[in-house]
Copies of this chain bind each other. A is one copy, B any other.
Amino acid sequence: MNPYLKHDEWCIIEEGFVPENTRASESIFSIGNGAMGQRANFEEKFTGSTLQGSYIGGVYYPDKTRVGWWKNGYPEYFAKVINSTNWIGINVIVNGDELDLAKCKVDEFRRVLNMKEGYLERSFIAEMENGIKLAVKSTRFLSMVDTELGAIRYSVKPLNADATIELRPYLDADVRNEDSNYGEKFWEVVDTSCTPKISYIVSRTKKLDFHVGHAMRNFIALNGNIEHIQPEVNSSAMYVENIFKVEAKAGDEVTLYKYAAVISSLNHEKGSFPKVLDKLIDVAVSKGFDKMLQEQSDAWADIWKHSDITIEGDVAAQQGIRFNIFQLSQTYTGKDERLNIGPKGFTGEKYGGSTYWDTEAYCLPFYMVTHGQKVARQLLLYRYKQLDKAIENAQKLGFTGGAALYPMVTMNGEECHNEWEITFEEIHRNGAIAFAIYNYVRYTDDKSYLVHFGLEVLIAIARFWAQRVNFSQEKGKYVMLGVTGPNEYENNVNNNWYTSTIACWCMEYAEETINYVKSADPAKYKELAEAIKFDEAKEVEKWRDIRNNMFFPFDEKLGIFLQQEGYMDKEQILVKDLDPEERPLNQKWSWDRILRSCFIKQADVLQGLYFLEDRYDTETIKRNFDFYEARTVHESSLSPCVHSVLASRIGNVDKAYELYLRTARLDLDDYNREVKEGLHITSMAGTWISIVEGFGGMRVRNGMLTFNPLIPDKWKSYSFKVWFRENILKIVVSSTQITIFNESESSLTIKVYGVEHKVPGSSSINVPVQKQLF
Residues of A at the B interface (CB closer than 8 Å) are 65-69, 71-74, 78, 182-183, 396-398, 418-421, 424-425, 470-475, 479, 481-482, 491-492, 494, 565-566, 568-572, 586-596
Contacts and interface: CB of A to CB of B under 8 A. Distances in A.
A730 B589 CA distance: 55
Contacts of A421: 421, 491-492
A419 B569 contact: no
B591 A424 contact: yes
A469 B72 CA distance: 32
B182 A397 contact: no
19 contacts: A66-B66, A67-B67, A68-B418, A68-B419, A71-B591, A72-B591, A73-B590, A182-B183, A396-B590, A397-B593, A420-B592, A421-B421, A424-B592, A473-B568, A474-B569, A475-B569, A481-B569, A492-B492, A494-B569
Given A183-B182, A481-B570, A596-B482, A590 B72 contact: yes
Most buried by B among A471, A570, A586: A570
Contact of A565 (B72, B396, B566, B588): B566
Contacts of A593: 397-398
Contact of A595 (B492, B570, B590, B595): B492
Contact of A67 (B68, B568, B595): B68
Contact of A72 (B472, B568, B586): B586
A587 B72 contact: yes
Contact of A73 (B471, B570, B591): B591
A66 B78 CA distance: 15
A596 B481 contact: yes
Contacts of A565: 566
A472 B398 contact: no
Copies, count:
2
Given A73-B590, A421-B421, A425-B592, 5 more contacts: A65-B68, A68-B419, A71-B591, A424-B595, A471-B571
Contact of A592 (B482, B570, B591): B482
Contacts of A594: 72
A398 B474 contact: no
B72 A589 contact: yes
A491 B494 contact: no
Contacts of A74: 591
A301 to B, nearest CB: 42
Chain A contact residues: over half helix, strand or loop, or mixed?
loop
Nearest to A423: B592
A472 B396 contact: no
A357 B183 CA distance: 35
Nearest to A566: B494
Contacts of A472: 568-570
A183 B183 CA distance: 11
A401 to B, nearest CB: 15
A590 B424 contact: yes
A492 to B, nearest CB: 4
Contacts of A66: 66-68
Contact of A571 (B183, B470, B482, B590): B470
A397 B592 contact: yes
A470 B479 CA distance: 26
Contacts of A570: 470, 472, 481
Nearest to A65: B68
A64 to B, nearest CB: 11
Nearest to A78: B68
A749 to B, nearest CB: 49
A589 B71 contact: no
Nearest to A427: B592
A462 B78 CA distance: 43
Contacts of A425: 592
Among A419, A491, A590, A594, chain B packs the most CB atoms within 10 A around the CB of A590
Nearest to A568: B474
A589 B398 contact: yes
- Minimum-distance CB pairs A-B, first 9: A73-B590, A424-B592, A71-B591, A472-B569, A474-B568, A397-B590, A398-B593, A68-B418, A492-B492
Contacts of A424: 590-592, 595
A67 B640 CA distance: 29
Nearest to A587: B72
A315 B171 CA distance: 73
A138 B109 CA distance: 76
Nearest to A468: B596
Nearest to A477: B569
Nearest to A571: B470
Nearest to A585: B72
A471 to B, nearest CB: 8
Nearest to A596: B482
Contacts of A420: 591-592, 595
Contacts of A481: 566, 569-570, 596
Contacts of A474: 568-569
Contacts of A398: 589-590, 592-593
A630 B565 CA distance: 27
A592 to B, nearest CB: 3
A764 to B, nearest CB: 50
A590 B591 CA distance: 25
Contacts of A69: 418-419
A482 to B, nearest CB: 5
Contacts of A72: 586-591, 594
Nearest to A567: B474
A442 to B, nearest CB: 32
Contacts of A592: 73, 397-398, 420, 424-425, 482
A183 B66 CA distance: 13
A572 B471 CA distance: 10
A483 to B, nearest CB: 9
Given A472-B568, A482-B595, A592-B482, A492 B491 contact: yes
Contacts of A473: 568, 572
A291 B472 CA distance: 70
A280 to B, nearest CB: 39
A550 to B, nearest CB: 13
